[in-house]
Amino acid sequence: MSPSEVRPNSAPSSSIALSVNGRERALEVDNRASLLDTLRERLDLTGTKKGCDHGQCGACTVLVAGRRVNSCLTLAVAVEGDEIVTVEGLSDGDRLHPVQQAFLERDGFQCGYCTPGQICSTVGLLAEAKKGWPSHATADVSHVCGPEGVTLDENEVRERLSGNLCRCGAYANMVPAVLDAQAAERR
């Protein structure tokens, strides 16, 4: 096919500036592009994983304005102006984020494919617990919140991480990792 026969891409697009891991990234995106595909295919941030691409597995979890979201269900054009943090943006230079450190120390993974999503989700859930947000596993919402927010236990962690699936079944080590991370956050 000669260049003159190539049909122009008529999909509507937008020029946007995304703030990702503290860096402004200007780009032209198809208005239908997911944040997940934009991170991976356009910005080379491949730490965020695609599992189901349908909001079912949590592998694509990132933080947008401090809250965890499934990036496969989020349009890139919808998050312009928000601070986006991916797993690549959590560490401080060579120093791992406390959640990353806890997962490492507790061996909270096997193949590691779900791990970036599990870690970003844990950062988000710790922030939610700190704000005193209850979960479905919270028995008594009137007494759950101390001055430091919700103190997590195993049931709370399992519930709050239930949107992040692990095909390897590494949950047994993830749960103590999350509890360790909350303890470290409070020290």
Instruction: Choose one: 51-59, 80-88, 135-143, 153-161; the region binding ligand FES (CB under 6 A).
Output: 51-59
Question: Among residues 69, 77, 120, 166, which is the contact residue for ligand FES, using CB under 6 A?
Answer: 166
Cβ atoms < 10 Å from Cβ of 172: 10
Tallying the residues shown for the chain, one arrives at 187
119 binds ligand FES (CB under 6 A): no
Nearer to ligand FES, 29 or 114 (CB): 114
Minimum distance of ligand FES from residue 118's CB (angstroms) = 7
Q: What are phi and psi for residue 153, nearest 5 degrees?
A: -125, -175
Q: How many residues bind ligand FES (CB under 6 A)?
A: 23
57 binds ligand FES (CB under 6 A): yes
Closest CA to 45 of 63, 66, 67: 63
72 binds ligand FES (CB under 6 A): yes
Report DSSP state, residue 136.
T
162 binds ligand FES (CB under 6 A): no
Between vectors from CA 175 to CA 39 and to CA 119, what angle results, nearest 5°? 15
The CA distance from 2 to 99, in Å, is 53
Instruction: Choose one: 4-12, 104-112, 127-135, 154-162; the region binding ligand FES (CB under 6 A).
Output: 104-112
**Measured between alpha carbons, how far apart are the two ends of the chain, in Å?**
64
Question: Among residues 43, 45, 68, 70, which is the contact residue for ligand FES, using CB under 6 A?
Answer: 70
From residue 116, alpha-carbon distances to 33, 135, 149, 183 in Å are 21, 22, 25, 21
Question: Among residues 123, 170, 177, 181, which is the contact residue for ligand FES, using CB under 6 A?
Answer: 170
- The residue ranges that bind ligand FES (CB under 6 A) are 50-53, 55-60, 70, 72, 109-115, 166-168, 170
